[in-house]
Structure 1
Amino acid sequence: MPVEIEQFMCRTDNFGVLVHDSKSGETAIIDAPEEAPILAAIKRTGWTPTLILTTHHHADHVEANLALKERFKLRIVGPEAEKAKIPGIDETVGQGSVVRLGEERIEVIETPGHTAGHVSYYLPASKVAFTADTLFALGCGRLFECKPPVMYESLKKLAALPAQTAIYCGHEYTLANARFAVTVDPGNPLLKQRAAKIEALRADNKPTLPTTIGEELSTNPFLRWHDPGIRKHLGMEKASDAEVFAEIRKRKDNF
């Protein structure tokens, strides 16, 4: 039976997420951006959290770690490479690690780029991945601690997941990402349709997530480095895939 997911807003544009395994009754929190909205979601669902799955060390993803740990006596899991920067961490993980939520198998994928130790969490049985600030809907995270080739390799890992995989990201950045994406991939009719849909959703203050790997492969320029139309538009027909990605990321930084 697939996990149940409760998504909600934290801070100004962070997503909070609860993941519940109904058979065991266990619940995971994906990152801890802000205590009050997380507590409200726990009260709303009636799910008592047993662990926090931390993706990376940035304050807007770990701010509520210690308060939630004290309140619920839960355990905090996070990337080995960033353990010194993650408050309250109990267990470290890396590429190939497996975390259990009841009977649900959660696979760890190392996805550095935004930070040097960033990880994503993939639930193959439920066909869900939590990519935080690596892969966004129509975007990818800023490269604060790594060079473009590192993020490129991380995105390749995520792009290889099954197309039906639902993707939950760390922020509601989709509208800005859509407005940039059409400047890089102007000839993509699927992107134009999606951009219009996103404009409507945000006008109604509705979330744009989850997305899917399949939808991102067809519309997210940060996963479409191989596309002939994008390459022609950028004047990079003979460049490597990694070079095309780096150019797109550079343009987004200056957008």
Structure 2
Amino acid sequence: MKILELPIEFEFNGQKNYIYPSLIILNNELTLVDTGYTNFLTLIENEILKNGYEMKNLKNIIITHYDDDHIGSLYDFKEKYPWINIIASEIESKYISGEVKSERLVQAEEMLESMPKEEIEFGKWFIQQLKNLKHVSIDEKVHDGDMILDNKCRVVATPGHTSGHISLYFPSVKSVITGDAAVIENHELVIANPNFCLNVEKAKQSLTKIKNLKAENYYCYHGGKLNL
């Protein structure tokens, strides 16, 4: 079993940016963790192919949480590869499937009311981005401590950034895929975007929780791989 980071380069507000979805390779089957923004399917496909893997072997997509940069292309993946098994926490699956209005959209609409004038345009744009996301039903709903992917991966509940955020722990390769429970700053794991955390205290506890796993490799969606 191995884990690859997929560096996806894109431009945002005229600046070069990166996100790092993860690809898990297990018994010739592929599992993608998070899907980038809307219209990122081709970018992610190209990175997978560049590493020598075939899309026909993509068996699962795991979504760490509902945010537009993580679920943006999920609908496109499911449309193009209908056999894919989509995995998410039970809490997040309600938002991803559209059963319940997402926490992030509720938060964005509330923040808009008190935003400084110069930020209102961005706030409205962000709300529209969230409203444009297409709903996808979840095939497999997971909980804290569940063992998935042939018992090689343990689901770790890491709430804070969102209520149902999950990270993934792989004991055999001493690795954690953090989602947005941690980002890398100055070669350290820190909380992602405290201003957008739905619960900062829980986010701090979740960061401590994944640090306490004492992994050697942390794969962060923002910042890439950290070796300890």
CA shift, 1:7, in A, is 2.0
TM-score of the two chains, using structure 1 as the length reference: 0.62
Cα shift readout 1:225-247 (whole Å, capped 9, x = no counterpart): xxxxxxxxxxxxxxxxxxxxxxx
Residue 133, structure 1, aligned to residue 180, structure 2: yes
More strand by percentage: 2
The answer to whether the Cα contact below 8 Å between 1:66 and 1:88 also exists between their aligned partners in 2 is no
Instruction: Give the distance between the partners of 1:27 and 1:78, measured in 2 at CA.
Output: 16
Structure 1 residue 105 displacement after superposition:
1.1
- Is residue 78 of structure 2 the alignment partner of residue 69 of structure 1? yes
SS in 2 for 1:42: helix
Q: Is the helix fraction higher in 1 or 2?
A: 1
SS of 1:40's equivalent? helix
Q: Tell me by how many angstroms 1:57 deviates.
A: 0.4
| Cα-to-partner distance string for 1:75-102 (whole Å, 9 max, x where unaligned) | 11011111122223211112111111xx
Question: Deviation per CA, 1:17-43, whole angstroms, max 9, x where unpaired?
Answer: 22112xx21110010012111110232
How far apart are the structure 2 equivalents of 1:26 and 1:39?
15
Q: Is 1:82 equivalent to 2:92 in the alignment?
A: yes
CA distance in 1, matches of 2:205, 2:5: 30
The letter for the 2-side match of 1:92 is K
1:211 CA drift (Å): 0.4
> Could you say which structure has the greater relative contact order, defined with CA pairs below 8 angstroms and 6 or more residues apart?
2
SS at match of 2:7: strand
Partner of 2:32: 29
The answer to whether structure 1 residue 58 and structure 2 residue 62 are counterparts is no
- Among 49, 61, 85, the residue aligned to 1:43: 49
- Matches of 2:5 and 2:162 in 1, distance apart? 26
| Unmatched runs of 5 consecutive residues or more in structure 2 | 11-16, 97-135
CA drift of 1:163 comes to 4.5
Tell me how many residue pairs correspond in the alignment.
171
Measure the CA separation in 2 of the matches of 1:4 and 1:111.
20
Could you tell me whether the CA contact under 8 Å between 2:154 and 2:168 is conserved in 1?
yes
Q: CA deviation at 1:136?
A: 1.0
Residue 162 of structure 1 deviates from its aligned partner by 2.0
Distance 1:10 1:70, change over 3 A: farther
Identity %: 26
**Structure 2 CA distance for aligned equivalents of residues 41 and 134 of structure 1:** 24
Greater Rg by CA: 1
CA RMSD in angstroms, aligned pairs only? 1.8
Q: Structure 1: where are the runs of 5+ without partners?
A: 173-208, 215-255
